[in-house]
Structure 1
């Protein structure tokens, strides 16, 4: 590694990918400021996260062990439609978005982290980058990192023509305290990755740490995600909350309308094993449509994109978070040693972009294949939740 020198990085996006970028850039001597568009606490766009090597590596450098922020699973089990389970040994560590967020955020308490910062414009003059936000605030630095997710404002500013594509299915989700579930259901799910699949749907379930990172029995949460095929024409209805607000790509807990709730519970009763149908009924359900964003360039003039801002992978790969962490680690390696007014390390950034885009393409194809194998987002899979 080259000798550490300083530059100022403006990180757009304060979720776990942006926080990973902040840590990695600080490790090479950069001054970092993070800007998050959420007005309050950043909203998790998912609940459970599979612990992957890229995530564990950064946590270890921060003095946090993977086990201290995870629930350990010992088996995988497939539930069949009448409730019988087929099991096999498969150890795995599971964490949660808010647990990981806390582990990354707490060491950055002395770093500039501004909420309510929706990026509106970026201007580059020489080695100076100016970011202007919707609230009128202006930030100055030498390099900008777009880690602002699938709805990336950074990406839109770099190339307004990029668009997401609906994948043909949605992810219904729940995240419930284990203490709220019946003992027999909790006994079935505890210590296991549980799944069920049928034409046009798939449900996965496992335990994750509690809301404050608790990993001890009795204080954890049960995380589940239910992928369901539904036509794009149904999305406006499904994304209209009980408050009357139309959401773009995430229906928060508490916004499920009585009409959609009744349809979803009926679908669960008709299509899921009885244990999973009961779990859905006991949950505060939220929802995300699954979108694709084709792999995109990652390097621009004094700016880069990483994580979902550069391109998405389907959730079946369990690699969305780890991909963002890998992007951030590679970026820091490419940028190490640079300081204005030196010329940017263009060759290193090009190599980083080529390596990470190749990785992204591989993961993207893998995710689509996994979805297709479960007839998710395909023309042959059954369709549900029609508005007609």
Structure 2
């Protein structure tokens, strides 16, 4: 049961990181309000998530289990352009963005979760903080958490000097019902983490729960991500959808133009094992450029940044979600027992920042090393889309 109310927290960003912060702060008695810029239900911008201890810990406290939102894999297998797959035993739990989102969102009342709330200004008023949104609403609280992702408005307001940089490669993605795959392809991929690597590209594939959390055979989905070195000057073309809209960080399903579709399928046929080429042909493809945001300050006056708003890690570490959950749990610990009008526990917040930045720096270096091992981000001497 939550403790008595101690302070009011304004959480900017209603994806899984913001929801994790909401639950962690409620557990120490905070009154929370979550503000999400999307006008309606958030569309998932990633698909598969590797279950990690930080995520499992919060699920357990909410009365769920890791297995209740995951598909269990038993093996890893490496595909080759020619020859048989190489397999070995490697048990693992794989969940999905929407399965986690649903599990975290349902326990929160609609009254504390506000859609269509793009942040416009943040200002400190004495010992409190005020946030004004594009819809004209101003919210007042004792503390503000920016959990609004890599394109964080909170970060832009608190530290305008920070900016993302392009890594040199993009992530093409697909998320299809397993029932849409032919039997031979599904037999190859079921219950396995499957991967293929070549210089300048890497493709990973595994099953995740269905759109409503289904875990039974026949109702799950096949999630894949294909990292491909891509010249930065080609990004505007790739991020312009068939509707004519230019996207910044995410090209959604259904927006891939016929021209890019043709190029992508030709690259698949030329570069991937035939099983993965077939998978790409079946998919409703979407895309994300892989962006870097160097670790910076996380603590400001009566406000903090967490998750991707504070700094990114490359996806190869499988720790983007767990990093945000870890940020939220340790932030709650730093703020526990604080109750205005007492002064903010600045020393504990500074310790939180030091510890979490050190963790972020370690993960950042690990992700770049893993990318380098596959020559991802190095376009020299490799055929990439748009070359």
Structure 1 residues 171 and 220 mapped into 2: Cα distance closer, same or farther (>3 Å)? Answer: same
Q: Does 1:183 align with 2:183?
A: yes
Aligned length: 385
The CA deviation at 1:5 is 4.8
The CA deviation at 1:109 is 2.4
CA–CA distance in structure 2, aligned partners of residues 217 and 381 of structure 1: 42
Equivalent in the alignment of 1:357: 357
CA–CA distance in structure 2, aligned partners of residues 95 and 380 of structure 1: 35
The CA deviation at 1:84 is 2.2
CA–CA distance in structure 2, aligned partners of residues 111 and 103 of structure 1: 17
1:234/1:386 contact within 8 Å kept: yes
TM-score (normalizing by structure 1): 0.98
Question: Any residues of structure 2 matched to 1:272-351 within 5 Å, and which?
Answer: 272-351=272-351
Q: Any idea what SS the aligned residue of 1:107 has?
A: coil
CA–CA distance in structure 2, aligned partners of residues 171 and 350 of structure 1: 35
Structure 1 window deviating more from structure 2 (130-139 vs 326-335): it is 130-139
2:230/2:379 contact within 8 Å kept: no
The CA deviation at 1:110 is 4.8
CA–CA distance in structure 2, aligned partners of residues 215 and 137 of structure 1: 41
CA–CA distance in structure 2, aligned partners of residues 134 and 168 of structure 1: 34
CA–CA distance in structure 1, aligned partners of residues 211 and 151 of structure 2: 26
The CA deviation at 1:11 is 0.1
CA–CA distance in structure 2, aligned partners of residues 204 and 354 of structure 1: 33
Equivalent in the alignment of 1:253: 253
Equivalent in the alignment of 1:82: 82
Runs of at least 4 residues off by over 6 Å: none
CA–CA distance in structure 2, aligned partners of residues 136 and 111 of structure 1: 18
Structure 1 window deviating more from structure 2 (120-129 vs 252-261): it is 120-129
The CA deviation at 1:386 is 1.6
Equivalent in the alignment of 1:230: 230
CA RMSD, Structure 1 to Structure 2 (Å)? 1.0
2:35/2:114 contact within 8 Å kept: yes
CA–CA distance in structure 2, aligned partners of residues 84 and 120 of structure 1: 55
Q: Does 1:239 align with 2:239?
A: yes
1:12/1:34 contact within 8 Å kept: yes
CA–CA distance in structure 2, aligned partners of residues 73 and 191 of structure 1: 4
The CA deviation at 1:382 is 1.4
Structure 1 window deviating more from structure 2 (372-381 vs 322-331): it is 372-381
Structure 1 window deviating more from structure 2 (189-198 vs 109-118): it is 109-118
The CA deviation at 1:335 is 0.2
Question: Any residues of structure 2 matched to 1:1-388 within 5 Å, and which?
Answer: 5-82=5-82, 84-380=84-380, 382-386=382-386
1:168/1:377 contact within 8 Å kept: yes
1:290/1:314 contact within 8 Å kept: yes
2:75/2:193 contact within 8 Å kept: yes
Q: Any idea what SS the aligned residue of 1:55 has?
A: helix
The CA deviation at 1:82 is 2.2
TM-score (normalizing by structure 2): 0.98
CA–CA distance in structure 2, aligned partners of residues 68 and 131 of structure 1: 36
1:5/1:336 contact within 8 Å kept: no
1:254-310 alpha-carbon deviations (Å, 9 max, x no partner): 000000000000100110000000000000000000000000111000000000000
List runs of 5+ in structure 2 lacking aligned partners: none
Q: Any idea what SS the aligned residue of 1:108 has?
A: coil
